[in-house]
Amino acid sequence: MAAFDTVIRNGTVATASDTFKADVAIRQGRIAAIGEAIEDADVTVDASGLLVLPGGIDSHVHISQPSGPGIVMADDFESATRAAAFGGNTFVMPYCLQPKGQPLRAALKDYHALADSACYVDHSFHLIIADPSDAVLGQELPALVADGHSSLKIFMTYQDLALSDYEILGVLQVARETGALVQIHAENYDAIRFLTDRLERAGQTAPYYHGKSRPIPVEREATHRAISLAELVDVPILIVHVSGREAVEQIRWARAHGLKVFAETCPQYLFLTAADLGIDDSYHGARCVCSPPPRDKANQEVIWDGLNDGTFTVFSSDHAPFRYDAPEGKKPGGNEVAFRHIPNGIPGIETRLPLLYSEGVLGGRITLNRFVELTSTGPAKAYGLHPRKGTIAVGSDADLVIWEEREFVLTNADLHHDVDYTPYEGHTLRAWPGVTITRGEVVWDGAFRGRAGRGRFLVCGAPSLVPPRPGAQP
């Protein structure tokens, strides 16, 4: 019997802190040895001239999430986790939404029923708190955090999800008492309502005006308020999908004042602009309706700077898949509707890593180690999965990606989600995962070899994040 199940030989290994040539040996789904000239294995994978990185962790995805009457997400757990694996992701974290009036445990039971036999990769769930009743805050939520559901999301916008400041403070207090990490979608709901009503009265309802209804001050004010509320309770928070300069300035101010404020951004704020929502009354821009909306080129540069200087801890896709040309998707009931009725969200679970690797690493904007930190190690630490996930170390799960550098123009036909478009159509990419390995088994190596249901649900531990010093390089 061989000493190891698999050895990846002659590759260059990169983690968040180091880059070195080594062989990586796998036994029973874990990394068993890292060294030179390891040969005693049942299977040998030659990675000569290639990079071996930890598998991607996409910690902000929406899969099979309730989206309103008649609206259905295009991806279920089978198609979404298949696309994730093709794109180099070995762990995903979708959101379990608590409908108003429903106990959290009932929502979790329903969500597990959708996921448990369908996933190709390992996964965990965040909890969306939409109804923070006394019973939820006093009993259910503390018990669920103790069970390993240690990340929560709350909204400051959307009619059925927005919490009042009083309710937000209640959730933050439970997080302080239990050690959970709270994610906050920071946009001012009343300001958006006001602007939307005014735009509609003027007949300005095309997708382009979605961006006009959610201008930068809407995000800036809510980010400032979220930070202030967290400061009152003295609890860490993570601001999700940050889109531009003014929210970034609020986060940097908080860090400079010693507050534990973390941040996430997404590909749409690097690769899309307001122009992608349309420059006229065309409905085509509905494909890129998401919140916050894409900004302009100057704000893209601010986000790139934040990725490089440590402002951002996590880089996620915010995958929210709706078909463009479908009555249950971006054309509700088969109609071109006013922007307020277009389902918010864009697909991106498969393209997140190749986009950032191509433009970030190969484009010289971020280092390879920073790429690993943002896409794997940072999420693992934020959600209590490190060092089991998010690194290449003896004892860690053998979640690995071998990258191939090759140039091609992306089309939706290249992808494996169940969406009829990609907002990144026509972008030139310079890399794609050549091999994706989850817990020691190859799921993609030019052919798809995954097995639905093999992906395990994992409970999470306490966050292990420390904000960088103001101005410090990561």
State residue 469's pLDDT score. Answer: 56
Residue 474 has pLDDT above 80, yes or no: no
Residue 119 has pLDDT above 90, yes or no: yes
Percent of the chain with pLDDT over 90: 95
Task: Render pLDDT for 457-468 as a digit per residue (tens, 0 to 9).
Answer: 999 998 988 766
Contact 383, 151 (CB under 8 A): yes
∠ CA 33-56-84, nearest 5°, is 125
User: CA-CA distance, 473 to 308, in Å (whole number)?
Assistant: 8
Burial string for 418-428 (b: 16+ CB within 10 Å, else e) reads bbbbbbbeebe
Average pLDDT (43-65) is 97
* Mean pLDDT rounded to a whole number for the chain: 96
Q: What is the DSSP string of 286-344?
A: GGG--SSPP--HHHHHHHHHHHHHTS-SEE---B----SSSTTTTSGGGS---GGGSPP
State residue 468's pLDDT score. Answer: 66
∠ CA 63-328-88, nearest 5°, is 30
Peptide bond into 387 cis (omega under 30): yes
Please compute, for residue 136, the number of CA atoms within 13 A of its CA located in the half-sphere on the CB side.
23
User: CA-CA distance, 52 to 19, in Å (whole number)?
Assistant: 10
Contact 427, 271 (CB under 8 A): yes
Residue 79 has pLDDT above 70, yes or no: yes
Q: Mapping DSSP to helix (H, G, I), strand (E, B) and coil, where does residue 241 land?
A: coil
State residue 309's pLDDT score. Answer: 95
CA distances 373 to 367, 380, 453, 468, Å, are: 10, 9, 28, 13
User: CA-CA distance, 436 to 414, in Å (whole number)?
Assistant: 17
Task: Render pLDDT for 343-376 as a digit per residue (tens, 0 to 9).
Answer: 999 999 999 999 999 999 999 999 999 999 999 9
Task: Render pLDDT for 214-265 as a digit per residue (tens, 0 to 9).
Answer: 999 999 999 999 999 999 999 999 999 999 999 999 999 999 999 999 999 9
User: CA-CA distance, 242 to 265, in Å (whole number)?
Assistant: 5
Contact 98, 140 (CB under 8 A): no
User: CA-CA distance, 448 to 139, in Å (whole number)?
Assistant: 44
State residue 369's pLDDT score. Answer: 98
Peptide bond into 292 cis (omega under 30): yes
Task: Render pLDDT for 129-165 as a digit per residue (tens, 0 to 9).
Answer: 999 999 999 999 999 999 999 999 999 999 999 999 9
Whose CA is closest to 50, among 432, 450, 443?
432
What element of type H or E holds 100? none
State residue 350's pLDDT score. Answer: 98
Q: Domains (ranges, CATH) in the chain?
A: 55-377 (3.20.20.140)
Non-local (6+) Cβ contacts of 270 within 8 A are: 300, 303, 304, 355, 356, 359
Task: Render pLDDT for 270-313 as a digit per residue (tens, 0 to 9).
Answer: 999 999 999 888 999 999 999 999 999 999 999 999 999 999 99
User: CA-CA distance, 164 to 229, in Å (whole number)?
Assistant: 11
| Torsion angle, alpha carbons of 53, 55, 58, 62, to 10 | 150
Tell me whether residue 142 is exposed, middle or buried, using C-beta atoms within 10 angstroms of its C-beta: 0 to 12, 13 to 18, 19 or more.
middle
State residue 466's pLDDT score. Answer: 76
CA distances 364 to 265, 333, 367, 443, Å, are: 19, 45, 7, 30
Task: Render pLDDT for 400-455 as a digit per residue (tens, 0 to 9).
Answer: 999 999 999 999 999 999 999 999 999 999 999 999 999 999 999 999 999 999 99
Whose CA is closest to 208, among 291, 158, 280, 272?
280
Residue 118 has pLDDT above 90, yes or no: yes
Pairs from 409-417 (Cβ < 8 Å, separation ≥ 24): 410/351, 410/354, 415/83, 415/86, 415/350, 415/351, 416/79, 416/82, 416/83, 416/86, 416/350, 416/448, 417/74, 417/75, 417/79, 417/80, 417/83, 417/321, 417/347, 417/349, 417/350
Non-local (6+) Cβ contacts of 294 within 8 A are: 211, 243, 268, 269, 272, 273, 274, 276, 277, 288
Q: Mapping DSSP to helix (H, G, I), strand (E, B) and coil, where does residue 95 land?
A: strand
User: CA-CA distance, 446 to 37, in Å (whole number)?
Assistant: 26
Percent of the chain with pLDDT over 70: 98
